Amino acid sequence: MSFDFTKYKEIKNLIPLELPDKKAYYTDLVNLEDSWTGRMDAQLANTFIQEAVQLIINAIVVFEQGYLDCAYYSLRQSIEVSTTMVYLTELEPDMKTEELQKWRTKSKFPMYGQMIKFLDKNGNAFSDIREKMKNYFDELQKVKESMNKYVHKQGFDTFYVARRHSAKVDTSALTKDFEDCLISCIGAIAVFRLAIDPLPVLLMDSEIYSRTGDLLTESYSDDFVYKYVGQKAIEAYKQTEIYHSFHEYFMNKEQMKPCVLDVTKFQHIDNERINEILNQAHLLTRTDYLAVVTVGLSKKIASLYFSGGWPFYTTNTKSVRYLDGFDSDTFKKIKESENHMNNRYDEAYLSYLNLDSEELYLEHNEQFEPDEFIHLKAFVIALVLIINQSNSNNERDEVN
């Protein structure tokens, strides 16, 4: 094998390292990605969270390759991206438009320290969070200063050439230092996310969870909070105005029964509890309600699909199909065929209902009898007409 001079020059001063818990960190980062906010005026925050997560992953990758300063730089950038997210979110509409344009066009834009100072003076949620969580942010600042030593190459131990020629490099110490900063940065992204809205923490409370419908946001897990933020810091966060206002708002809502929560959050219908679900029909969406009533007409229904296959609902009647999922082309073929009842669907059957303003596909294990299917279809059509008429009347009342 010939000597590769280029490769030699690239790697001669690198010390590859290994992060044993890398997979666990990647898995935990999913919790951050799933903390998606539904605030219409803060949708840009979701992109910033995803970018911050990517920067954490990049840091891990280059750390294992031996590029320590690059790894710490990427960690530090994850905090700065999170700060920019909060800064842009908390600005007044006119100023937000102007600053976002500056950011997009790479014009003069405040640095990390400037954004923090501005938010402390002018921010609503964030300044309150910083005040209530002072101890947490003091510790985060120490971590940031520690990372700066690597980024700015202060001390010979941060030099590649010095580490390489050192008598003994303590790789376990290098790994521990990095992991400590890594954990702090993941936690920081999680905390900055809470300045947008408190849902990732609120949804950890079963009392709140049972009063919410199908939200974009997933809650932080107990393990995630314990590992990356700390219980004391979260308890301090719960003293903030943003947490209290959202908590009060949701606690004033009606609590859903477990079987209703299954419908609203997981699109699963317990066909043994149809009446119990319908007792809280006012908490269901239009599609939820239509699906529940339709399933209540026949326990043969294993799954129910709306137009194109989405949304779809499962039931207690487990499908006999071996394959999961659905094929929209199959739905289309049945819709365009002359036969809409008892079409073979792998090991099960699929029937199609063409309604006034809806299309329903019923997956069932046993065939429908002709009269049974006719009566089911007639009932559902009548129900859709009633719903549409009721909605039309409500809209006229609102106009008047």
For residue range 17-49, list pLDDT tens digits in order: 999 999 999 999 999 999 999 999 899 999 999
Q: Output the pLDDT for position 328.
A: 82
Give the pair of three-digit tokens for residue 69.
Answer: 């300063």
pLDDT at residue 147, as a whole number: 95
CB 361 within 8 A of CB 351: yes
pLDDT in tens, 214-252: 898 999 999 999 999 999 999 999 999 999 999 999 999
Q: Are strands 343-345 and 359-364 parallel, antiparallel or unpaired?
A: unpaired
Structural domains of the chain, with CATH:
10-251 (no CATH), 258-399 (3.30.450)
Nearest-angstrom CA–CA distance, 10 and 212: 54
Under 8 Å between Cβ of 385 and 357: no
- The 3-state secondary structure of the chain reads CCCCHHHHHHHCCCCCCCCCCHHHHHHHHHHHHCCCCCCHHHCHHHHHHHHHHHHHHHHHHHHHHCCHHHHHHHHHHHHHHHHHHHHHHHCCHHHHHHHHHHHHCCCCCCCHHHHHHHHHHHCCHHHHHHHHCHHHHHHHHHHHHHHHHHHCCCCHHHCHHHHHCCCCCCHHHHHHHHHHHHHHHHHHHHHHHCCCCCHHHHCCCHHHHCCCCCCCCCCCCHHHHHHHCCHHHHHHHCCCHHHHHHHHHHHCCCCCCHHHHHHHHHCEECCCCHHHHHCCHHHCCHHHHHHHHHHHCCCCEEEEEEHHHCCEEEECCCCCCCCCCCCHHHHHHHHHCCCCCCEEECCEEEEEEECCCCEEEEEECCCCCHHHHHHHHHHHHHHHHHHHHHHHHHHHHHHC
| 323 backbone φψ class: left, alpha, beta (φ>0; ψ -120 to 50) | beta
Tell which residue, 3, 7, 9, has the closest CA to residue 160. Answer: 9
Q: Which residues make beta-bridge pairs with 314?
A: 268, 303
Q: Are 82 and 112 in contact (CB under 8 A)?
A: no
Low-confidence ranges of the chain (pLDDT < 70): 1, 165-167, 391-400
pLDDT score, position 326? 77
Q: Exposure string (b/e) for 211-240, b if CB count within 10 Å is 16 or more?
A: bbeeeebbbbeeebbeebbeeebbebbeeb
Structure tokens, 116: 């923090």
pLDDT for 208? 98
Beta pairing partners, 344: 349
Per-residue tokens: 260: 């209703």
Confidence (pLDDT) at 357? 74
* pLDDT at res. 396: 47
Q: What are phi and psi of 13, to 5 degrees?
A: -105, 10
